[in-house]
Amino acid sequence: MNDSIERIVIVGGGSAGWLSAGLLASEHLARSGQDVHVTLIESPDVKTIGVGEGTWPTMRSTLQKIGLSETEFLTECSASFKQGTKFVGWVTGDEDDSYYHPFTVPAGYASLNLVPFWQGQRDSVSFVDAVSVQGRVCDRDLAPKQETTPEYAAVVNYAYHLDAGKFAELLQRHCTERLGVRHIRDHVTAINGEPDGDIESLSTASSGELEGDLFIDCTGMASMLLGKHYGVAYRERSNVLFNDSALALQVPYADQSGPVLSQTLSTAQSAGWIWDIGLTTRRGIGYTYSSDHTTDEAAEKELRAYVEVLQGVNADSLEPRKISFRPGHREKFWHRNCVAVGMASGFLEPLEASALVMVELAGKMISEELPTSRSVMDIVAKRYNDVFLYRWDRIIDFLKLHYVLSKRSDSQYWIDNRKPETIPESLHELLKLWRYQPPWHNDFSQREEIFSSASYQYVLYGMGFETAARGSAPDSRVAGEARRLFAENSQMANKVVANLPGNRELLTQITQGR
Ligand SMILES: Cc1cc2nc3c(=O)[nH]c(=O)nc-3n(C[C@H](O)[C@H](O)[C@H](O)COP(=O)(O)OP(=O)(O)OC[C@H]3O[C@@H](n4cnc5c(N)ncnc54)[C@H](O)[C@@H]3O)c2cc1C
């Protein structure tokens, strides 16, 4: 019996399906010739979710790995550079309440934790400005690189904002024309194989039966293979993260040549928060909220008010799209010869754009560890499940952190979010520890953490968290090194700000000069 894994069938043609196809095809087709075949089937009747505009810096290496040019990507996806998130109104809701979670790690991050040294000057300089140049770069809507910086390289770390619909189309063209992925447009009507055995094939509406050795479920919230066929349970996490609804708008620019934001804006509202993302052609603005704490009508009113006041655009002609979701994830993701990626594996509110990075990490691990034989697949599956369960838990902790640190009491939503029974034990423990020592490398154990201690530092100290100073004074050499790093960061900020082009300016140069 031939038990080698050669035929990979991906079901679903959203961002998850095409990114997985690209990662698998580039790893295997390019390297080994003909022994792995990737087929992607997507239904002409079921639309993709069509949102998901904020990404993580990993997207640069993902696009590079699958062989896309950055210029082509930026041009085809109306994409822009994203350097982090600016959180507005999350702590008190006052006029001047905002902080950054940038993508560049703090100065000296590899060897010296600057938090204890910054604490003495916290009233005169924000944590982000003391240890990073990126807040000032974002304040001025500057690009993260210069025109002469090579593709995918950076002056300061960055990811992208992108048009999700155009992104799936570009990936489809690239995967089918350049990476040899076979594409079928057809509706999958049945999954063949016993629920307690491997999947043998898929029945389709008009293309007959499609056989495979490994099936990747990218069917979005339907989770047709892992959820429906195998009945792998969904672990709902709405007891921790309350948001389960979103209203999404595509908003035209009042001035098409105006600045393009270098960061996602996340503005706290009465029952959730509004994302505001600048692409080159339009803005993507949406409100994600808890249906237990507000109504769709009230949420829509808040969203329209935001668009009119902050963006100076008349929102009357814009119709928001409502999306409901169950925050949570499957109990496992790889079962027998089926692995779910993207929304089919779970979804949490898009507060830190963690969904696409999970897709990238999934595609990377599946392609790197692709079992050559069925006989070892269950071992790979177990490892995969352990890694991804860990990742979902860490994302939940990190997202919840933003709510736990808020001091807002102006609506029940913010009050409920701080109730101890809604805080995971793992986060509770870390917060207790961080009262005495700042987050650092030992707090997280994996090689590829999505949110490292650097991210925790930015959010904690951006939101006013206090860590007690050690009784003893630091070694004078170390204190000197900290002073040097602060001074260097300050000089670097002036230099970088003087030399970087505007975000819009560089994007225009790149996309029109090609
Ligand atoms: C409001 C909101 C905001 C978001 N913002 C962000 C963000 O800023 N950053 C981020 O990283 N992520 C974000 N996400 C998540 C992101 O949109 C998704 O993770 C991403 O688009 C991947 O979706 P998908 O491919 O898993 O599912 P989908 O896009 O839903 O694709 C499902 C595919 O399955 C196919 N399909 C379904 N049934 C069948 C069938 N029977 N036969 C054949 N094919 C079938 C469909 O045709 C479709 O092609 C957001 C999500 C929401 C809801």
pLDDT above 70 coverage of the chain, percent: 99
The H or E element that residue 309 is part of is helix 296-311
Task: Give 167 Cα–ligand 1 centroid separation in angstroms.
Answer: 12
Q: Please state, in angstroms and rounded to a whole number, the distance separating the CA atoms of residues 446 and 450.
A: 9
The ligand 1 atom nearest the CA atom of 44: 47
Looking at residue 30, its pLDDT comes to 58
Looking at residue 312, its pLDDT comes to 74
Strands 7-11 and 214-217: parallel
| 1 pLDDT higher than 70 | no
Chain segment 224-234, per-residue pLDDT in tens? 999 999 999 99
Q: Please state, in angstroms and rounded to a whole number, the distance separating the CA atoms of residues 265 and 465.
A: 21
| 424 pLDDT higher than 60 | yes
Per DSSP, the residues of 119-182 read HTTTTTS-HHHHH-SHHHHHHTTB-SS-TTSPTT--SS--EEE--HHHHHHHHHHHHHHHS--E
Task: Give 9 Cα–ligand 1 centroid separation in angstroms.
Answer: 17
Looking at residue 34, its pLDDT comes to 56
Looking at residue 310, its pLDDT comes to 74
Instruction: Give the pLDDT band (50/70/90) at residue 514.
Output: low
| 331 pLDDT higher than 70 | yes
Strands 245-252 and 234-236: unpaired
CA distances from 214 to 7, 188, 218, 497, 509 (A): 7, 16, 13, 49, 43
| 33 pLDDT higher than 70 | no
| 489 pLDDT higher than 70 | yes
The ligand 1 atom nearest the CA atom of 17: 25
The ligand 1 atom nearest the CA atom of 359: 19
Chain segment 39-55, per-residue pLDDT in tens? 999 999 999 998 989 99
**Contact between 22 and 40 (Cβ < 8 Å):** no
Per DSSP, the residues of 273-291 read EEEEEE-SSEEEEEEEE-T
Looking at residue 252, its pLDDT comes to 92
Q: Cβ of 340: how many Cβ atoms within 10 Å?
A: 31
| 292 pLDDT higher than 80 | yes
**Contact between 48 and 220 (Cβ < 8 Å):** yes
| 14 pLDDT higher than 70 | yes
Looking at residue 2, its pLDDT comes to 73
In one-letter notation, the amino acid at residue 127 is F
Query: Burial level of 220, CB count in 10 A (0-12/13-18/19+)?
Result: buried
Scan for tokens 């990507």, then name that residue.
73
Closest CA to 17 of 356, 278, 468, 378: 356
Q: Which of 59-73, 145-159, 356-370, 470-484 has the lowest mean pLDDT?
A: 470-484
Looking at residue 31, its pLDDT comes to 61
| 32 pLDDT higher than 70 | no
**Contact between 289 and 272 (Cβ < 8 Å):** yes
Looking at residue 269, its pLDDT comes to 98
Beta bridge partners of 334: 339
Closest CA to 91 of 417, 394, 321: 417
**Contact between 83 and 144 (Cβ < 8 Å):** yes
Q: Please state, in angstroms and rounded to a whole number, the distance separating the CA atoms of residues 106 and 455.
A: 9
The ligand 1 atom nearest the CA atom of 218: 26
Segment 421-445 shows an average pLDDT of 96
| 261 pLDDT higher than 90 | yes
**Contact between 288 and 302 (Cβ < 8 Å):** no
Arithmetic mean of pLDDT over the chain: 95
| 447 pLDDT higher than 60 | yes
Q: Which residues line ligand 1 (CB under 6 A)?
A: 11-17, 41-43, 46, 48-49, 51-55, 164, 187-188, 218-220, 222, 224, 246, 248, 286, 288, 323, 325, 342-344, 350, 353, 355-356
Nearest-5° Cα angle at 362, 183 to 26: 50
